[in-house]
Structure 1
Amino acid sequence: MTAAAENPYASPSVRWLTLLSICVATFLMPMSMSAVNVALPAIAEDLNADAVLVSWIPTMNLLGAIALQLPAGRIADMIGRKKVFLSGLLLFTLSSLAIAMVEHIGWLLLMRLLQGIAGAMIFGTGMAIVSQVFAEHGRGMALGLTSTSVYLGLTCGPPIGGWLTEWWDWHAVFLAPLPLAIVCALLVWINVRETERQKDERLDWIGSLLFIAASSLFFVGLSELPDWKGGLLGVIGLALLGLFIYQQEHSPYPLIRLRRMVKNLVFFRSIQASFLMYAANYPLQFLLSLYLQYIRELSPAEAGQLMLLQAMMMALLAPVAGRLSDRMEPRIPATLGCILFGTGFMILALLDQDSGLGQVMLALLVMGTGFGLFSSPNNNGALSVVPTERLSIASSLLNISRTLGNMLGMAVVVFLFNMFIGNAQLTSDQFPALMNLLEFAFWICCGYCLLAAWRSWSRGTVHQQG
């Protein structure tokens, strides 16, 4: 942006109102997501959905987010971040209203796909706006507060989802966020200044379509394994991904400049660490919701309240960790966070049908501390080495690493459901198989965290890069 365009953010009040408007949106999306996870058993019963279809409810949201993440970020850099951000809020609102009227699992999955697309538009621009506004005014702290809003959404989502499911029904889970969506749209409309349009840039439509097809086919194929059709779709998706990478190297207006990204060691390894940590984090609430409600027979509200612990620790630590990353190398708190998060999965992997809830609480406290230390410093380190005019695409790449991690984590879980349980309903006869699935999944997630710690520490130093 030009100096004239930056002037509106010289006032602290304008900066903080801008941050507030972004935080409302980044609170809204995870609140909706985590509330749905608690409502899954009620949705399964009402719509007569088997275990595999139930696992697709959070997964379809990821599919929409991953497929549109790169095009959304590129379009935001071209036509303006505010336009894309508000369009995402509108799509989220309309799809949530539509879910209130569905009576078949297929329509619900379609609306979740649209909500994922809306999330790509919101998250692909939100961090970029915050990073630009606070570039010279404590960016790490501002990103930490943005992360806090995410974790507050995660904190409020489970109990809200549980209460609404018990006192009304699961449809209310999708309607509850809509008043906040309206408030957020008004705040963004009033306080966020539109970025300057890049008239000499074009959207790479071929690259966009290739990426959408590659990510969708690979994701669907991975989730359908070990069926041979799933393997075939996965191979086709990988082949299209290779074609996408080749096409990006020869496109005059690429979605991402791959060689430049790989050479930027701090940024590239930051998104690798993000990918691995979110692969571990995203399935956690889904898996714990099943354990607490099916194995331990907790109500949706009770399960949601217990899962508050992790998100509360995240919310408390994220701003502090962000501020620390302004003063020390971001890789220090981020790497420690990866190790602690993996330790929490080790504790969960030792659960059995008779384990006390104290073991679950301990694991959630450790994991909340770990992820709170990781997220803000990792984002701050990555965005600190990116030019202002590329912040939207950099923000999208960070979010695509998060969404790809979410996608991998849930795809592996869907695969495990196919292997351990199949299309059977989750009844007491299936509980031993469910426990085996949970243990296997928790150890896999622990491995993700250890790999993330390695990539986080090896990224190098931000201050030398700057």
Structure 2
Amino acid sequence: MVDENRRSETRATYILTVCTLASFLTAFMGSSINLAIPTIGEEFQAGALDLNWVVSAFLLTSAAFLLPFGRLADLYGRTRVFRAGLCGYALFSLLSSLAPSLPLLIATRALHGISSAMIFSTATALLVAFFPAQARGRVLGINVAAVYTGLSAGPFLGGIITHYLGWRLLFGVNAVLGLAALIIAVTKLEGEPVTPRREKFDLSGALLSVPSLAAVIYGASSFSLGFLPKLLLVLGLGGILLFVLQESRAPFPLLDVGLFKSSSAFTFSNLAALISYSSTYAVSYIISLYLQVVRGLEAQTAGLILLVQPVVQVLFSPPAGQLSDRLEPRIVASTGMALNTIGLFLFSLFNARTPMALVVANLMFMGFGFALFSSPNTNAVMSSAPRAYYGVASSILGTMRLLGQAFSMAVVALIFNLYLKGSQFTPAAAPLLLRSMNVAFLVFAVFSLGGIFASLARGQIHRGEREG
């Protein structure tokens, strides 16, 4: 009995380690590549629009393929899909480091995104499947902390690697770490038992959802760039509507609409995630412009100031997740969203003479708020989903995150275009930038206020677990 418990603890440690490493890697790659874009542009003699696809190709494919891979994982094994994702991540990191031209780099980045979608859709599901309900908040908090660590370390370490070793070594480092995670996953992770099911994979649903989601995310994030993104956004929204109608009639749907109908906790927790990311994702982008253009700070100094928010998130996400194991997630998460709402409103009042200590304090305040929201909300989503749909539930939550991020940047672009009218970010434009910043944060505060009610409306989670 003692040996069995020891083996179970060892297995749990390996699962947490490899899932945490994978979550760190995907976040680190996403944030560090931004620092390498200028260097990549110099080597390939490429313009800003072409270089944008080095980032966008990854985001579009990872978002579009989340749901299909989540469903495949539920049907055929989450460990299998997770291992395949790590294998692809390591392989396409290596191929990206060797890319001889920009088009081939963009192609490998798109494949990189597809393999990352396998990881996004299974890492959380594996943690929830292998850990008991009373420990979920703690391990999900650790996993969320790994994501924030990757996001905060990416710009710093990515800048150092790119500056001293070159952008190709940045991908090379990710390939080595990805390979290390793959070795652990293959040698130490046991495949979870898959119940034989006569269900088939919904290929027609996948063929409709993948381009529709890609069109929505590209259209929303590039809304201000002309007619084509607007058209793609409309077509993508129409495609998603058709997808939902089709799934409600499909015998073995890619997305079981009944998940939303049968569980208010699942529905409102995902809605809260969408609203939260919509209202907070653009904070670092706006404040970075405020610090450099309005306050005249150098980029390096601005970056150090912005670092305080993710550092606070890293420190408090694990205890916040653990707290949601004891208290109802809706209480902890709603408190976090309330703090974010206050922080967003305070940012809408800032001006060119606001003490820098207040800027830092408010970033820390919002970092604490998002730590209270994120892991408890993830705990609520996964705990309210049936075990057979953990992969789909994880994928839906990831889709809400990416849609929220795209919408957040679309709102910023719309407001900035309204006030700045295409002006460059120079000191002369500081008054207009400050005005547009205040309006954007006020809009986001209103979004976040609505999110508090969505978060509170999810109902009880732990009571349902005890009754189940």
If the length of structure 1 is used for normalisation, what is the TM-score?
0.87
- Is this contact kept in 2: 1:161–1:304, CA < 8 A? no
Q: For each residue in 1:232-273, what CA deviation from the matched residue of structure 2 results, as whole angstroms up to 9, or x when unmatched? A: 322222221111111101211101111332330011100111
Choose 442-451 or 380-389, whichever is displaced more. 442-451
**Correspondent of 1:31 among 25, 28, 31:** 28
Aligned-residue offset at 1:115 = 3.3
Aligned to 1:208: 206
Alignment of 1:166-205 (within 5 A): 166-197=163-194, 198-205=196-203
Q: Report the Cα distance in structure 1 between the residues aligned to 2:153 and 2:220, rounded to whole angstroms.
A: 32
Aligned to 1:264: 263
Q: Report the Cα distance in structure 1 between the residues aligned to 2:53 and 2:423, rounded to whole angstroms.
A: 15
Choose 300-309 or 127-136, whichever is displaced more. 300-309
Q: Report the Cα distance in structure 1 between the residues aligned to 2:438 and 2:102, rounded to whole angstroms.
A: 28
- Is this contact kept in 1: 2:33–2:158, CA < 8 A? yes
Aligned-residue offset at 1:204 = 0.7
Choose 159-168 or 295-304, whichever is displaced more. 295-304
Aligned to 1:86: 83
Aligned-residue offset at 1:219 = 2.7
Aligned-residue offset at 1:130 = 0.4
Q: Report the Cα distance in structure 1 between the residues aligned to 2:50 and 2:186, rounded to whole angstroms.
A: 38
Aligned-residue offset at 1:287 = 3.6
- Is this contact kept in 1: 2:220–2:406, CA < 8 A? no
Q: Report the Cα distance in structure 1 between the residues aligned to 2:292 and 2:27, rounded to whole angstroms.
A: 21
- Is this contact kept in 1: 2:221–2:406, CA < 8 A? no
Aligned-residue offset at 1:184 = 1.3
- How many percent of aligned residue pairs carry the same amino acid? 32
- Is this contact kept in 2: 1:62–1:407, CA < 8 A? no
Aligned to 2:119: 122
Q: Report the Cα distance in structure 2 between the residues aligned to 1:424 and 1:109, rounded to whole angstroms.
A: 29
Alignment of 1:223-372 (within 5 A): 223-225=221-223, 227-292=226-291, 298=297, 301-352=300-351, 355-372=354-371
Amino acid at match of 2:247: Q
Q: For each residue in 1:372-409, what CA deviation from the matched residue of structure 2 results, as whole angstroms up to 9, or x when unmatched? A: 10111111122222222221111111222222212222
Q: Report the Cα distance in structure 2 between the residues aligned to 1:440 and 1:128, rounded to whole angstroms.
A: 38
Choose 8-17 or 450-459, whichever is displaced more. 8-17
Choose 22-31 or 149-158, whichever is displaced more. 149-158
Q: Report the Cα distance in structure 2 between the residues aligned to 1:176 and 1:297, rounded to whole angstroms.
A: 34
Aligned-residue offset at 1:230 = 3.4
Q: Report the Cα distance in structure 2 between the residues aligned to 1:44 and 1:434, rounded to whole angstroms.
A: 27
- Is this contact kept in 2: 1:37–1:289, CA < 8 A? no
Q: Report the Cα distance in structure 1 between the residues aligned to 2:175 and 2:313, rounded to whole angstroms.
A: 25
- Is this contact kept in 2: 1:59–1:407, CA < 8 A? no
Unaligned runs of 5+ in 2: none
Q: Report the Cα distance in structure 2 between the residues aligned to 1:103 and 1:293, rounded to whole angstroms.
A: 35
Q: Report the Cα distance in structure 2 between the residues aligned to 1:104 and 1:428, rounded to whole angstroms.
A: 36
Structure 2 residue 460 is matched with structure 1 residue 461 = yes
Amino acid at match of 2:116: G
Aligned-residue offset at 1:105 = 6.4
Amino acid at match of 1:119: S
- Is this contact kept in 1: 2:121–2:392, CA < 8 A? yes
Aligned-residue offset at 1:293 = 5.0
Choose 337-346 or 429-438, whichever is displaced more. 429-438
Aligned-residue offset at 1:171 = 4.8
Q: For each residue in 1:398-445, what CA deviation from the matched residue of structure 2 results, as whole angstroms up to 9, or x when unmatched? A: 222222212222333454566566777655565555545544433333
Q: Secondary structure at the match of 2:204?
A: helix
Structure 1 pair 338/265, CA: closer, same or farther in 2 (3 Å)?
A: same
Q: Secondary structure at the match of 2:282?
A: helix
Aligned to 1:3: none
Q: Report the Cα distance in structure 2 between the residues aligned to 1:298 and 1:105, rounded to whole angstroms.
A: 33
Structure 1 pair 103/416, CA: closer, same or farther in 2 (3 Å)?
A: farther
Aligned-residue offset at 1:338 = 0.6
Amino acid at match of 1:135: P
Aligned-residue offset at 1:102 = 5.6
- Is this contact kept in 1: 2:54–2:109, CA < 8 A? yes
Q: Report the Cα distance in structure 1 between the residues aligned to 2:271 and 2:364, rounded to whole angstroms.
A: 25
Structure 1 pair 365/408, CA: closer, same or farther in 2 (3 Å)?
A: same
Choose 91-100 or 364-373, whichever is displaced more. 91-100
Aligned to 1:393: 392
Aligned-residue offset at 1:170 = 4.8
Structure 1 pair 59/426, CA: closer, same or farther in 2 (3 Å)?
A: farther
Amino acid at match of 1:249: S
Aligned to 1:160: 157
Q: Secondary structure at the match of 1:218?
A: helix
Structure 1 pair 113/421, CA: closer, same or farther in 2 (3 Å)?
A: farther
- Is this contact kept in 2: 1:348–1:359, CA < 8 A? no
Alignment of 1:54-65 (within 5 A): 58-65=55-62
Aligned to 1:113: 110
- Is this contact kept in 2: 1:217–1:237, CA < 8 A? yes
**Correspondent of 2:137 among 135, 140, 146:** 140
Q: Report the Cα distance in structure 1 between the residues aligned to 2:107 and 2:42, rounded to whole angstroms.
A: 19
- Is this contact kept in 2: 1:63–1:407, CA < 8 A? no
Q: For each residue in 1:146-183, what CA deviation from the matched residue of structure 2 results, as whole angstroms up to 9, or x when unmatched? A: 11211222232232133334445555544443332122
Choose 240-249 or 54-63, whichever is displaced more. 54-63
- Is this contact kept in 2: 1:38–1:300, CA < 8 A? no
Q: Report the Cα distance in structure 1 between the residues aligned to 2:217 and 2:204, rounded to whole angstroms.
A: 20
- Is this contact kept in 2: 1:207–1:247, CA < 8 A? yes
Aligned-residue offset at 1:305 = 3.0
Aligned to 1:450: 449
Structure 1 pair 38/345, CA: closer, same or farther in 2 (3 Å)?
A: farther
- Is this contact kept in 1: 2:91–2:175, CA < 8 A? no
Q: Report the Cα distance in structure 1 between the residues aligned to 2:396 and 2:59, rounded to whole angstroms.
A: 15
Aligned to 1:95: 92
Amino acid at match of 2:332: P
Q: Report the Cα distance in structure 1 between the residues aligned to 2:375 and 2:145, rounded to whole angstroms.
A: 9
Q: Report the Cα distance in structure 2 between the residues aligned to 1:92 and 1:418, rounded to whole angstroms.
A: 37
Q: Secondary structure at the match of 1:11?
A: helix
Q: Secondary structure at the match of 2:132?
A: coil
Unaligned runs of 5+ in 1: 1-6
